[in-house]
Amino acid sequence: MDRTYIMVKPDGVQRGLIGDVIHRFESKGFQLLAAKLLHISRAQAEKHYAEHVGRPYFEDLVNFITSGPVMAMVWGGDQVVPISRMMIGKTNTLEAQPGTIRGDHAVHTNRNIVHGSDSPENAEREIAIFFTPEEIMSYEKVIQKWI
């Protein structure tokens, strides 16, 4: 089973969108493997956004993601990374299609509700930043054979 890291950002938490995000992933047939509400530390944020170090918007990214609680999740399923990226929508809210999470809810590119890993390699890296192996469930979902 493929895995990905999905995070409802502080704006999504404050706007009460955790349930909608979880509902969309469950409805798609993905399996929730771990979830926790947490306040990201600066060290975690810097590690998460390491590829953006030195860019003019890096400080804003770190300050925003540490500004309030986030809902960190690990989801599993066949092709979960590319499919979840489609479900989330484009980063630029002007390009996010209706029906995607960002297309339906985001009003500003810098405050775009949700983060999703962009590759299987980044998914594993991001999962390791926010979860220990013991926090990630492994269980058989009976309905999975139908999906």
Q: Which residues are catalytic?
A: 115
Number of domains in the chain: 1
Cβ neighbours of residue 32 closer than 8 Å, sequence gap 6 or more: 22, 25, 26, 73, 74, 75
Higher pLDDT, 1 or 86: 86
Q: What is the pLDDT of residues 43-54, one digit of tens each?
A: 999 999 999 999
The rounded distance, in Å, linking the Cα atoms of 37 and 69 is 6
| Statement: residue 144 has pLDDT above 80 | no
- Over residues 90-135, the pLDDT tens digits come to 999 999 999 999 999 999 888 999 999 999 999 999 999 999 999 9
Domain span at residue 72?
2-146
According to the model, what pLDDT value does residue 128 have? 98
* Total-model pTM: 0.94
CATH of the domain at 23: 3.30.70.141
